[in-house]
Amino acid sequence: MKRNKKWKVVLLIAVACFIALQFIRPRITNPPVTGEPDVPPEVSAVLRKACYDCHSNETHLAWFDQVSPAIWLVAGHITDGRQVVNFSTWDSLSKDQQKGKLFESLNQVMFKTMPLPQYTALHPTARLTGEDITVLKNYLATQLLPVKPDSSKTAAANRQYDAWDPAAPVARIQPVANGIGYMPDYKNWEAISSTQRLDNGTMRVITGNDIAVKAIREHTTNPWPDGTIFAKIAWDEQADSTGNITPGEFKQVEFMIKDSHKYATTKGWGWARWKGTDLKPYGKNAMFTMECVNCHQPMRNNDFVFTTPTQHTTASLPDTPFLKLNEWKAITSGIQKGQQTMSTLYGNERAVASSRKGAGGYPADALLTLVTWKQREDDHWFGAVIPGIVASVEQVQFQPGNAVPLYKKYTGNKLIPDKTSEEEAKSRIAYIIRQRASVMP
């Protein structure tokens, strides 16, 4: 009897605490809607179904969402969700930001990062079907606008290039709000991949420090070792009259720095970004890093890294000992629209230094290597293309005492030497030599 009485007391206390807890609860409000996405009705319906309860000012709570302590969890999700993207204040974003948020949302959905699994478990109507995802894909595919020649963009890129002095001392660059300082040597790191972002009209080259490169060679990239640093350099695209695309104005450089202890609260990575050739640090406060973490969340099973390193080809060139692995330094890149290929022009140190000076010639012992890949869709980001299989490797070597540089071309799956006529060799040498270095402040 005493034991039963004891349990009754415990039960009464628990019930009393539960009832009291209902009066201690966060307040969830729905501020006015100032603007919503201007999208087709079927797209809006998908967004409302899966996103609006946490990412809008039109939150609808089920009865069990309003019971403490569940209400505290729900309130946290709504607060965080509205900070990441709020479809009810869509007019507060620029057109480019709106477009970027829609592509980010689709990629979150495709990798099942959003809606949150714990949310759909209790709210099954928020689950997206394959048809829903197709609706989003079909709409966003219409936003992948082709790059067209634009004389104003070309003029702006030319002005920026003419003002660029790679030899000038690096000015004092302000660190970003989380304390990470600018790393000017990123441009001399090994290039490990490149990307064309069709969703925002940019071309990107990704470089990695020695620790990153060593991890790639040793296949120890998931997780990446502490000390790994990536730099992602972005330029606006510019097209010529033939439709070929090259880097235009420098847009930004952003860094990912792996330190699983120092950056434990941001998934083991430090994040930083500088925009424009004046290298203005991005972010009003240290919380800007949550934008980066949220964007990279779909890659949580890949240590939050989108980049797939390209296959380096020097091992396939037994009779070309000139280009060492640590000399895959990027000079520029390009997209050959008609051939559906993309390329990166690399150089050894002498070639890179000369190209960035823009002197119009290369010294003896300079070596240029143009690698061309077939393009393929990026498995990690809808709206991007990355290098696929290697289509060709072309090398131009400048030798002491020789007026005409040596040209070699390799093609096929095994990159065997290609027989090239003297006329074609001259044409390709001229093409490769006149490639202008991309601005990297």
Q: Tell me the pLDDT tens digit for each residue of 116-172.
A: 888 887 788 888 899 999 999 999 999 988 888 889 999 999 999 999 988 877 778
3-state secondary structure of 367: strand
> What mean pLDDT is predicted for residues 232-250?
92
Q: Is the pLDDT of residue 322 over 60?
A: no
> What mean pLDDT is predicted for residues 384-401?
89
Backbone φ and ψ for 283, nearest 5 degrees, come out as 105, 130
Written as one string, the DSSP assignment of 391-425 is EEEEEEE--TT-SSPEEEEEETTTTEEPP--HHHH
The residue that leads in pLDDT, 359 or 112, is 112
pLDDT value of position 368: 92
> What mean pLDDT is predicted for residues 299-308?
93
Where do the domains of the chain lie?
A: 2-141
Q: Please state whether the peptide bond connecting residue 223 to the residue before it is cis, i.e. omega within 30 degrees of 0.
A: yes
Q: Is the pLDDT of residue 39 over 60?
A: yes
Q: Please state whether the peptide bond connecting residue 115 to the residue before it is cis, i.e. omega within 30 degrees of 0.
A: yes
Q: Is the pLDDT of residue 16 over 80?
A: no
Question: For residues 168, 170, 171 and 174, what is the CA-based torsion angle, rounded to 10 degrees?
Answer: 150
User: Which stretches of 276-399 are assigned E, i.e. beta strand?
Assistant: 280-281, 329-336, 341-347, 367-377, 384-397
Q: Is the pLDDT of residue 48 over 80?
A: yes
Integer Cα distance of 274 and 183 in angstroms: 10
Integer Cα distance of 50 and 86 in angstroms: 13
| Mean residue pLDDT across the chain | 86
Contact 65, 74 (CB under 8 A): yes
Provide the 10 A C-beta neighbour count for residue 322: 15
Q: What is the torsional sign of CA 96, 279, 154, 246?
A: negative
Contact 286, 292 (CB under 8 A): no
What DSSP character marks residue 200? Answer: T
Q: Is the pLDDT of residue 234 over 80?
A: yes
> What mean pLDDT is predicted for residues 1-26?
58
